[in-house]
Structure 1
Amino acid sequence: MFKFLKEVVAGSGSGLKDFPYTIGETYASAWGSWTHHRGTSKDDGSPVSIFSLSGSNPQDRHMVAGRNGVKRLRTVRHPNILSFLHSTEAEVADGPAIKHTIYIVTEPVMPLSEKLKELNLGGTQRDEYFAWGLHQISKAVSFLNNDCKLVHGNVCLASVVVTQTLDWKLHAFDVLSEFDANNEASGSPMLQFEWLVGMQYKPMELSKSDWASIRKSPPWAIDSWGLGCLIYELFSGAKLARTEDLRNTASIPKSLLPDYQRLLNSTPTRRLNPSKLIDNSEFFQNKLVETIQFMEILNLKDTFEKDSFFRKLPNIAEQLPREIVLKKLLPVLASSLEFGSAAAPALTVLLKMGSWLPTDQFSIKVLPTIVKLFASNDRAIRACLLHHIDQFGESMSAQTVDEQVFPHVATGFSDTDGTIRELTLKSMLILAPKLGMGLSVR
């Protein structure tokens, strides 16, 4: 069995000498006994996260649990679960001793606790961002419990990480196991590695190791309790120290309190299903959640709905946390324009959001989309580009103008629409100085 699990873990690499990633600085916190490192790919320098777990004995129970975590993360895929890239297991010298270390490589993320300190949000902006994050984690937990009949076992603040676009992802799968309800009378452990879970996070039936009761409960009972623990830690701003602290609801928003209490019901069969938390809670009905959800299904909306949304978006964006707008909404908006699911009003919003970026970031995150849009056959988009060219024209290199922009702009000189012809002529004030000398002379 150990050999099989080791092969599963090491399936993406033969050892540290062949490890195609560079291990960087560590974050201050990580779930369990794991260490969370920044990292980069040796191939292209792209950022990644690297999680490592070490032990003096390869059959140490933490190592065995770690291999379970690797296997589970590798096979369970969902938009709100941390994306697995690579794993390996190696023997690493630690002075005179040899340590056995498991490495997992994932998309670049940072611990939620550290990201929240960095964002330093307060008031309505904090609650709206928490609502979006809890919405994502609830979807991940619902997927595990309801669709896969799996139990995570330790949903809490430490088991959540944040991507570069500020999305929340669930990870820490060492305890994860199938929900075995077929043998209700069995008293054998269903969660082989439940000893990894701190007592403060365990519901009563788990702390008593009442496996018969757990098997008779819904598959979400343990993880619904965990979602309650996560909510407590988020709003109290402190790690849960004792199970009794969950009764202190002073920091829980009133709109979330009824569902919080249902998640933590002392009777497992009466705990709220995570899917119902998403559907029912008034707490999730706010500007940030509604805006992101609309943008993520933009291609399903009709023209009227899109136009109405994008005309309101500039005012909404002003009220949302600036970092969330720039790291989450702006990339989604740029992608929607590139792939044709957003129309001309969205371009105006993109330029407004882009104006909040430093010049170097504008050139990386916004300008490539604008350049691609010059090839669009949509007259409204072409007119919008030409009308606002003074906002981005100086950022384009002469080579970009010559090779990617001007050939498309030039078609406007003979366009049947008089407005396009007029805007094309005016755009030459910005573009002409950047054109090749031969072309300028002609």
Structure 2
Amino acid sequence: MDMLNKLKSTVSTTVSQLSGVLPGNPVTREYEVGKLIGSAGPDLLWKIFSGFKKSTKQEASIFVLEKKLLEKYSKKDKDQLVEVLRRGVAQLTRLRHPQILTVQHPVEESRESLAFATEPVFASLANVLGCHENISPLPQQLRDYKLFEVEIKYGLQQLIEGLIFLHNDVKLLHCNICPESIVINQQGAFKIFGFDFCTSSQDATSKLWPVREPDPELSPVSQSNLDYLAPELGPNAIGCGASVDMYSLGCLIVSIYQNGKSPWQMDGDVESFYRHAASHTQTLQRMEGVPPELVDHVRSLLHPTPEQRLDAHQLVKISWFDDVGVKTLNYLDSLFQWDNLQKSQFFKGLPQILPRLPERVCLHRVMPCLAKEFVNPSMVPFILPCALHIAQEASKENYVAHILPHLRPVMKIQEPVQILLIFMQRMELLLQKTPADDVKSDVLPMIYRALEAEAAPQIQELCLSVIPSFASLIDYPAMKNALMPRIKKLCLLPSGQLSVRVNCLICIGKLLDNVDKWLVLDDILPMLPAIPSRDPAVVMAILGVYKIALEHPRLGIPKEVIATQIVPFLFPLLVEPGLSLTQFRALVAMVKEMLAKVEEEQKTKLESVAALQDEQR
């Protein structure tokens, strides 16, 4: 009950947060807004909500700026800030690059808010590093969230590639690279956001951009984050190069390893920044937490002289990024450029790499890339073992949420047959993690198709071996009308392989616990004499079915069936030339046991009849 009340409270809080802000905003005509998941931008003023597009159900994130949050500023600062934020989103909307946050719907303004929609995001980097302003209540996924080393490496590599695009292709200087301006999407990719203070160069040949120095008269939120600003943007700054963003990136790297704290703390004070810029003659000496192999490169980025800093092309090539996990994620991002042979070679080696990647990276970064390749049936046999390896390591909850939806369409693919074979080999995993309803709706139909795969006896044998393990999940009509007829057909097939026939009989024997007496008497027992094989292995398997049925406390075999159907069938088998001595003895013992049962029951019946007749005389 407490949990229910807590859920109601969370929902009502979200509704109340949105009710006074978004109804008048045009974004809500096209997008359904969900719960609050994060915040981003200057002072983390942009609230980030989950959501989806109403017309297509495409998942999205909605960024909302509540104008009431700006009431603490003067009218001049408030108007300027709104204009700055509006301009920043407009610039973001015009950019298209894998490392730039993708805008799905441009910024819209109402009396109460600004809002726009983007690709689905997880949160801002600032949120992940522990800054949770404007997020209440705090989402569960942000509590105690820690970035893994491979996520940091790959994320920084993505940011560097994004900066190369901005500096070289768009001729744009970001001027505010900081945790609030970096957004992490649902797959864990770092995306550049927050173009509120960017500047562009009109001269395509120039390597300098016009910049504005920080203004003491402006509110700190209306200008670049001073904690991450390069010293050359101090007093009398006129033009600066791409090294401005590289300096900010160096500060960002330090902040990632120091729980979101920049190496310099200006507290929004422009005069402090000016003093820092004027006296900045030495690089930062202490870098707690920064990996030793990265320290010298960060020092280079934080060098007071712009010309001494590494540029983006140099930084992306350092050995620190030469990591098998980072390379793997890069390969996954570029799969669309490869032919099937190259892809198959990569996927063959991927299971050896997956154990080195954290579960979160496998679920949110690797699995979506694998799922995109499932549309190519010829590649599925190479991809499926990787997906099932991730499933093996995932919790049941994560499996159901992030893996099973991608596996459902694959379970329906009939060619190539290797797909069924892989599923049969990992059926124990599927049954362990897949909910019962999904086993019935998705796994069971796949089992039926596997039984009908006459060209692949190995698949049929694997299938027959796993069916008893989930027989309790099969309802009786499906057992009687769908599963058992397929097994019988396979067993009676004249051209069937011996091993398949034997496995059919073993499977039937194990299924007797899950059927009723009438199915045994009407369908199973009459089938056994009709099997077109008298091979000793088949005879012993038939004997096993008879023995289980005979001794089962709920089933049993009536004496009439034994006397008229079973014994007449078994007696000629006693002289089959292929039987070994052990097999012959087992057959004789079964015949004797059945005859003893007939004798005992018939004797008891006759004695009862005789006693009744004596009483009537």
Q: Same fold (TM over 0.5)?
A: yes
Alignment match, 2:123 = 110
**Range with bigger deviation, 165-174 or 246-255:** 246-255
Q: In 2 relative to 1, CA 149–436 (structure 1 residues): closer, same or farther, beyond 3 Å?
A: farther
The residue type paired with residue 206 of structure 1 is: L
Distance 1:46 1:303, change over 3 A: closer
Q: Which amino acid aligns with 1:157?
A: P
Unaligned 5+ segments in structure 1 are: 1-12, 93-100
Q: Which residue, 329, 332, 335 being the options, matches 2:369?
A: 332
- CA, structure 1 residues 337+368, in 2 after alignment: closer, same or farther (shift >3 Å)? same
How far did residue 336 of structure 1 move? 2.8
1:203-352 matched pairs, under 5 angstroms: 203-211=230-238, 213-214=239-240, 217=241, 220-240=242-262, 241-242=265-266, 247-251=284-288, 252-278=290-316, 280-298=317-335, 309-310=346-347, 312-340=349-377, 342-352=379-389
Unpaired segments of 5 or more residues in structure 2?
1-23, 131-141, 216-221, 267-275, 486-617
Q: Distance in 1 between matches of 2:378 and 2:325?
A: 20
Cα distance in 1 for partners of 2:143, 2:428 equals 33
The one-letter amino acid of 1:439's match is A
2:197 is matched with: 175
Aligned partner (choices 448, 458, 464) of residue 419 of structure 1? 458
**Equivalences for residues 27-106 of structure 1 within 5 A:** 27=38, 30-32=41-43, 34-41=45-52, 43=54, 44=57, 46=59, 48-52=61-65, 54=67, 60-86=79-105, 87-92=107-112, 101-106=113-118
Of 221, 224, 227 in structure 2, the residue corresponding to residue 200 of structure 1 is 227
Verify: 1:400 aligned to 2:442, yes or no.
yes
- String of CA shifts for 1:301-337, please: whole Å, max 9, x gaps: 6777656655554453333322222222222223334
Q: Secondary structure at the match of 1:378?
A: coil
Cα deviation, residue 352, structure 1? 2.5
Aligned-residue identity in percent? 21
Q: Which has the higher contact order (CA 8 A, sep 6+)?
A: 1
2:159 is the alignment partner of 1:137: yes
In 2: Cα distance, 1:201 partner to 1:418 partner = 65
Q: Are 1:383 and 2:421 matched, yes or no?
A: yes
What is the CA-CA distance between 1:71 and the residue it aligns to?
Answer: 0.7
Structure having the higher helix fraction is 2
Alignment size in residue pairs: 410
Name the TM-score, length of structure 2 as normaliser: 0.58
Contact 1:160–1:171 at 8 Å: present in 2 too?
yes
What's the CA shift for 1:343?
Answer: 4.7
Change (3 A) 1:246 1:372: farther
TM-score when normalising by structure 1: 0.78
Q: Deviations over 1:212-261 (max 9, x none)?
A: x42xx4xx222111111211211232422156696134333232233323
Q: Which amino acid aligns with 1:150?
A: L
The structure with the largest alpha-carbon Rg is: 2
Question: CA RMSD for the aligned pairs?
Answer: 3.7
Distance 1:300 1:341, change over 3 A: farther
SS at match of 1:60: helix
1:176 deviates by 1.8
Letter in 2 for 1:132: Y
Q: Classify the secondary structure of the residue corresponding to 1:237.
A: coil
Say if 1:165 and 1:327, in contact at 8 Å, map to a contact too. yes
Q: 2:404 aligns with which of 363, 367, 384?
A: 367
How far did 1:291 drift? Answer: 1.9
Q: Is the 8 A contact 2:173 2:198 kept in 1?
A: yes
Q: CA deviation at 1:116?
A: 4.3
SS in 1 for 2:168: helix
Tell me, yes or no, if the aligned pair for 1:330 and 1:350 is still in contact at 8 Å: yes
Q: Does the residue aligned with 2:96 lie in a helix, a strand or coil?
A: coil
CA distance in 1, matches of 2:392, 2:123: 27
How far does residue 292 in structure 1 lie from its aligned partner after superposition? 1.1
Change (3 A) 1:369 1:427: farther
CA distance in 2, matches of 1:183, 1:316: 44
